[in-house]
Structure 1
Amino acid sequence: MKLHVYDHCPFCLRARVALGLKGLPFELVFQANDDEATPIGMIGKKMLPILEDEDGYMGESLDIVAKVDGLSGARVFDAAPRQALVDWIERTGGPVGKLVTPRTPDAVYPEFRTESARAYFTRKKEANIGPFAPLIARADEYRAEMEQALAELVPILPDAEGASMEDVLLFPVLRSLSIVPDLKLPPAVEAYRDRIAERAGIPLVNDLRSQAA
Structure 2
Amino acid sequence: MKLFIYEHCPFCVKARMIFGLKNIPVELVVMQNDDEATPQKMVGQKIAPILMKDDGSCMPESLEIVNYVDKLDGEPLLTGKLNPAISDWLRQINGYLNKLTLPRIAGASFEEFATPEARNYFKEKKEATIGDFEELKRHADGFIKNVNDDLRKLDKLIVKPNAVNGELSMDDIHLFPVLRSLTLIQGVEYPSRVADYRDNMAKQTQVNLLSSVAA
Q: What residue in structure 2 maps to residue 149 of structure 1?
A: 150
Aligned partners of 2:14, 2:160: CA distance in 1, in Å? 17
Cα drift, residue 79 of structure 1: 4.6
The answer to whether the 8 A contact 2:4-2:49 is kept is: yes
Q: What residue in structure 2 maps to residue 2 of structure 1?
A: 2
* More deviation, 41-50/97-106: 97-106
Cα drift, residue 47 of structure 1: 0.3
Structure 1 residue 185 corresponds to structure 2 residue 186: no
1:51-66 equivalences under 5 Å are: 51-55=51-55, 56-66=57-67
Aligned partners of 1:171, 1:137: CA distance in 2, in Å? 27
The answer to whether the 8 A contact 1:100-1:180 is kept is: yes
The answer to whether the 8 A contact 2:148-2:190 is kept is: yes
Shift of the 21–122 alpha-carbon distance from structure 1 to 2, 3 Å rule, reads: same
Identity percentage over the alignment?
Answer: 42
Amino acid at match of 2:113: F
TM-score (norm 2): 0.92
Cα drift, residue 40 of structure 1: 0.5
Aligned partners of 1:94, 1:181: CA distance in 2, in Å? 20
Cα drift, residue 73 of structure 1: 5.6
Aligned partners of 1:6, 1:158: CA distance in 2, in Å? 31
Q: What residue in structure 1 maps to residue 36 of structure 2?
A: 36
> Runs in 1 of length 4+ with deviation above 4 angstroms?
none
Amino acid at match of 1:199: Q
Amino acid at match of 2:3: L
Cα drift, residue 72 of structure 1: 2.8
SS in 2 for 1:168: helix
Cα drift, residue 25 of structure 1: 0.9
Cα drift, residue 129 of structure 1: 1.2
SS in 1 for 2:58: strand
1:83-162 equivalences under 5 Å are: 83-162=84-163
Q: For 1:188-211, what per-residue CA distance to the aligned partner results, in whole angstroms no more than 9, with x for missing partners?
A: 11111111111111111124x49x
Aligned partners of 1:195, 1:24: CA distance in 2, in Å? 18
Structure 1: unaligned runs, 5 residues or longer: none
Larger helix fraction of residues: 1
Amino acid at match of 1:187: S
Let me know the Cα RMSD of the aligned residues. Answer: 1.6
Cα drift, residue 160 of structure 1: 2.9
Aligned partners of 1:158, 1:52: CA distance in 2, in Å? 35
SS in 2 for 1:135: helix
The answer to whether the 8 A contact 1:6-1:12 is kept is: yes
Shift of the 194–9 alpha-carbon distance from structure 1 to 2, 3 Å rule, reads: same
Aligned partners of 1:187, 1:160: CA distance in 2, in Å? 10
Aligned partners of 1:169, 1:57: CA distance in 2, in Å? 23
Cα drift, residue 121 of structure 1: 0.5
Q: What residue in structure 2 maps to residue 70 of structure 1?
A: 71
Amino acid at match of 1:172: P
Aligned residues: 209
Structure 2: unaligned runs, 5 residues or longer: none
Cα drift, residue 104 of structure 1: 1.0
Q: Which of 202, 205, 208 pairs up with 2:207?
A: 202
Cα drift, residue 152 of structure 1: 0.2
SS in 1 for 2:39: helix
